[in-house]
Amino acid sequence: MTKHNFRSNTLPSVIMVGPVVLWLVFFIAIPLLYVAVMSFCSIDESYNIVFRFTTVNYKRLCDINYVQIYGQSILIAVLTTIVCILLAYPFSFLIARTTSKSKAFLYMLVIIPFWTNSLIRIYGWRTFLGTSGWLNMLLMKIGLVDSPVNMLFKRGTTVLGMVYCLFPYMVLPLYTAIEKLDKSLLEASSDLGAKGPQTFFRVILPLTSSGIFSGSIMVFIPTLGYFFVSDILGGGNSDVIGNLIERQFQSGNNWPLGAALSIILIVITLLLVKLYQKCGGDMESLGV
């Protein structure tokens, strides 16, 4: 249009968008690039980073002990995602389709537990499942077992903790997708003679698959990094990639190796997000 229009919009747009651009560049783009650069560096005897190009960290990533943990990590993430879908789908369906007035309240009840710090809730699980915990007390009282069963520090307990932490991230997108579902389509399907399962697999599931996709992304990716869950519930027997990274940045003190391990997580994230977009996933439904 006119020059005047252009000039009058430049200053306000710089004032409004400038701060966020500076913030994102300084606190996200530069640090991530720096991590990428660091992954090609090494350390000297006193743990200082030596900025000379080397692929030594990437060679170490192929160490069989590490590869086993990537495998275990992905297994835990897959199991967590599947359990979350199986538990959350019927639940979200029932909550979203309820006609009662307490719908908003039922929804809020999913969020309330998350106002308590997640670490202490995971510790609560450890207390509950421990040898002197409530569950063992109950099992002994009803005579199912004679002595306390050790339920902690197994891969399954870590999956339980992950499911627990990430469950609402599955419920939220599913709830939104199911709520949007047009009731008349279900009626049409049954009017045309479809049975319950048929309606579910051919109408309901395809129409709510977007919720399953975004929920899966939001559950699968964080699982790979939640080192504190496997620390508290897995006791070192079910480490995820996050544990490997954490060790290099804390006790191990080999930041370049930790940086290379982080690159694995970045690559997995990028691949999954690309796949998600290919399946028609909408980035906006990952936001809130």
Partner 1 sequence: MRRKTKAKLKKGLSVVYCSLIYLFLFLPIFVIAANSFNATTTKPYLTWKGFSLMWYGKLFDNTTLLQSFGNTMAIAFASTAISVIIGTLAAVGMYKYKFKGKSVIDALLYIPVVIPEIVLGISLLTLFSNVNIPRGMITLILAHATFSIPFVVFNIRARLSGYDNSIEEASMDLGASRISTFFNITLPVLAPGIFGGGVLAFTLSIDDVIISYFTNGQTKTFPLKVMESIKSGVSPDINALSVLILLGTMAVVFITQSGILNKKDRRN
Positions 176 through 215 that interact with partner 1 (CB under 8 A): none
Task: Check residue 271 for interaction with partner 1 (CB under 8 A).
Answer: no
Q: Segment near partner 1 (CB under 8 A), from 61-69, 139-147, 201-209, 240-248?
A: 240-248
Question: With contact defined as beta carbons under 8 Å apart, do 243 and 227 qualify?
Answer: yes
Task: Check residue 174 for interaction with partner 1 (CB under 8 A).
Answer: no
Closer of 119 and 188 to partner 1 (Cβ): 119
Q: Which of 1, 62, 64, 120 binds partner 1 (CB under 8 A)?
A: 120
Q: Which of 67, 86, 119, 279 binds partner 1 (CB under 8 A)?
A: 119
CB of 154 to partner 1, least distance (A): 18
Which residues are registered as beta bridge partners of 43? 49
Amino acid at 82: I
Query: Virtual CA dihedral for 134, 140, 143, 149, nearest 10 degrees?
Result: 100
Task: Check residue 64 for interaction with partner 1 (CB under 8 A).
Answer: no
CB of 34 to partner 1, least distance (A): 6
Q: Which of 61, 75, 103, 156 binds partner 1 (CB under 8 A)?
A: 103
Burial of 70 from C-beta contacts in 10 A (0-12 / 13-18 / 19+): middle
Q: What are the CB-based long-range contacts (under 8 Å, 24+) for 13-16?
A: none
Task: Check residue 71 for interaction with partner 1 (CB under 8 A).
Answer: no
> What's the rounded Cα separation, in Å, for the pair 81 and 220?
6
CB of 234 to partner 1, least distance (A): 13
50 Ramachandran zone, left/alpha/beta (phi>0; psi -120 to 50): beta
Task: Check residue 269 for interaction with partner 1 (CB under 8 A).
Answer: yes
Q: Which of 40, 89, 213, 226 binds partner 1 (CB under 8 A)?
A: 226
Task: Check residue 167 for interaction with partner 1 (CB under 8 A).
Answer: yes
* CA end-to-end span of the chain: 36
* Nearest alpha carbon to residue 58 among 209, 268, 259: 259
Task: Check residue 122 for interaction with partner 1 (CB under 8 A).
Answer: yes
CB of 19 to partner 1, least distance (A): 5
Q: Which of 41, 170, 255, 257 binds partner 1 (CB under 8 A)?
A: 255
Burial of 190 from C-beta contacts in 10 A (0-12 / 13-18 / 19+): middle
